[in-house]
Each structure stands twice: as structure tokens, then as C-alpha cells.
Structure 1
């Protein structure tokens, strides 16, 4: 997994007005917490943080006024219209420490012949992994699956050192038969009128 270095500043002003001032400077307010320590209120460079968060569960190496800390994103608030980051919560981690995270599930392969749909019951799979070796995603083969087939959590191939954080028999995805759209009552009525004419 990738590790991104970011410089952070400790912030002493709080509230909406202070947060707006921080954002006007193209920075993002955040909170760093974990390991039983008091939360540390910080500001992070907006553009660099946005790029870092494109990688799920990215490991962030923070330089907080000369002190280095490792963290992973736990909660990201975005502006619903602009998509910009409004606030971020970061969880302190240590090298070698196990953490619980959700990793994206991707599919590969072709379903059996016929019209079927793949429903992702879980878009992300809860796993436990070492903080510095969190997989970016897992890939599941759907080759040859038919309607009614499903893939359970225990069927998902996990990288070494990563274990499931859900029950083995949790459904991750299932294959559904495609539903043909029924004609609307209005369309049926028009068809009958045409036949009568």
C-alpha cells in the first residue's frame, strides 16, 4: 500500500468561522485521535490531502510541527456539490499494529451466458490488517456464475496477513436474473385500441 507524507499544523481556533477561514487558505481542518491520547486538532494542505484520499485506506505519514505520526483516514466529510473535503478524522496507528478497515471489492471475469446482474451486497469488505500493509482492494472472479449463485466472505481471496472482520458466510455479492420490464398499463391500453381500430 502507498504511504503519503503530509505536513500538518496544530490549530487552536474552533467553530464554523475558524473552519471557513482554514478552507479559504485551501487547507482542511481535521482531528487526529487514537491510542487513548487526547484528540489533536490539525489543518492539512487541501490539494495534497485530496490526492492522498484517492487511494482507499491510504497510510498518511504526518509531520506535525516536527513530530512524525502515522494515521489512516476514518471519516471524510465532503461538500455535496463541489466534492471538496470539508473535514477529515484520522486514526493514529503504529507500524505492526492491526486495524479494522473496509476494502473495496472488484470483480473480474464473465458471467455464464444469459442476462444476469451482479448485485454487490457489500461494496467494501471489512477486514483486519496490519496498519502498514492494508490492501487497496480485493478482486473476486465471477467467471461462469449463474443466477442464484453468490460469493461469500470466505470465498474472497485475501492477501497474506489480512483476515476477515465479518462472519465467513456473509454474502458479498450475488448473481440475479435480469428482470424484463413489464409494459405499463397505458401502453397496453394503446395496443388494445390500435387492435380494435
Structure 2
């Protein structure tokens, strides 16, 4: 897989003054974190970053090559970002340096495809989790994982353990939590062992349930 390449420059100073100066120049301040060296303050073009993420099938899990001038090239993933709530402009970004041959953990969106049989029968589909934790090499991180929900009847639920992992990817979880559930229409009867029980199980798993560290 070819990495998206972004030009960036190392900021020699940090703080609000350095951040404002970067924005005046049409760039955003960012930090390149690493398990191999100290954090590096950088600045880069936010439009180029948005384009790299938008144009890649890997989305926010796109592997990026940061060209840092005389400091050379660093391979990284976008880990966090800050957006202005009014203008929606990108204000800041955090990157994590990675090695292409070393597995890491990442959060991947779950996309439900198809129309559940239970929905066609009048049931209501609820998606309780929208991301799962995976472990794989950076180049194998999928932009999303699609799951066909068409077989789900009223009272059925989809658990993380039901999701087939893409090649080279391990889905990480300590509890087989619920991803989606089809509940009866309001006033309808719940089949034995059905949706109410599954929804309760998902609630107990909690939003913090995810991959192992």
C-alpha cells in the first residue's frame, strides 16, 4: 500500500504564539508522538491533511508519510484532532509514529449493510456500538468493517464475536458485547431470549469495553 505523503515542518517553538503563527501561515500546529523518540512539534497544511484522509479507503486510519525536510521522513497515523465547533476548521492534530512491520491497535468504524428481516417485519434496528478495536499492522487497518444484518429477525442481536475479521486483522475484545439489536415495534411482544435481554447485556458492557491493552 502506498502511503499518503504530507509535507510538514518542525516547529522550533511551542505554545500559543507558535500555534497562532502557524495558523497565520495557513497551517495548523500538530504534535508527532512516538514510542521511539520524544514528541515533535510540527506544522502542516490542514487542506492537504483533509484531502489525504478523504481520498483514502482507509479514512482516518490512513498511513501517512510526513516529510520533515532535513529531519527526514516519518511514518504516522492521525490519532486525534481538534475542530472549531462553529467554522468546522481543523485547528490541531496529533499523530502517532508507527513502524509498518509492527502490529498496533486501532479503532475501526462498523457499517451495517442490508435490511434486517426483523425490520421488514416491523421491528426497530438499534446500533449500540459504532466502532470496534482491532490489532494489525498499520497498512492492514481497514477504513471500516461492513457487516450484513439482513438475517436478523425481531429479537436477534449482533455481537462483536459474530463479526468476521478481515485478513491480517484481529478483532480485540474481552467481552462479547452487542453491536446491534432488532427490537419489537412498540407494544409488540419480545420473542423468548430476545432483544430486551440482548440490549441489557450491551448496556452492562459499557461504552468503555473494547480491546485489550
Q: Where do residues 1-197 of structure 1 align in structure 2 (5 Å cutoff)?
A: 3-54=3-54, 55-66=59-70, 67-112=72-117, 113-167=120-174, 169-179=176-186
Q: Distance in 2 between matches of 1:149 and 1:69?
A: 46
**1-side partners of 2:185 and 2:77: how far apart?**
39
CA RMSD of aligned residues (A): 1.7
Retained in 2: the 8 A contact 1:152–1:168?
A: no
Consecutive unaligned residues in structure 2, runs of 5 or more: 188-213
Q: Give the TM-score normalised by structure 2.
A: 0.78
Distance in 1 separating the partners of 2:150 and 2:121: 13
Paired with 2:129 and 2:68, the residues of 1 have a C-alpha distance of 36
**Structure whose CA Rg is larger:** 1
Q: Give the structure with the higher percent strand.
A: 1
Q: How much does 1:138 deviate?
A: 0.5
Q: With structure 1 as the length reference, what TM-score do the two structures score?
A: 0.84
How far, CA to CA, are the matches of 1:140 and 1:2 in structure 2?
A: 27
Which residue number in structure 1 is paired with residue 190 of structure 2?
none
Q: Give the number of the structure whose residues are more often helix, by fraction.
A: 2
Deviations 1:102-123 (A, max 9, x none): 1111111111122233222211
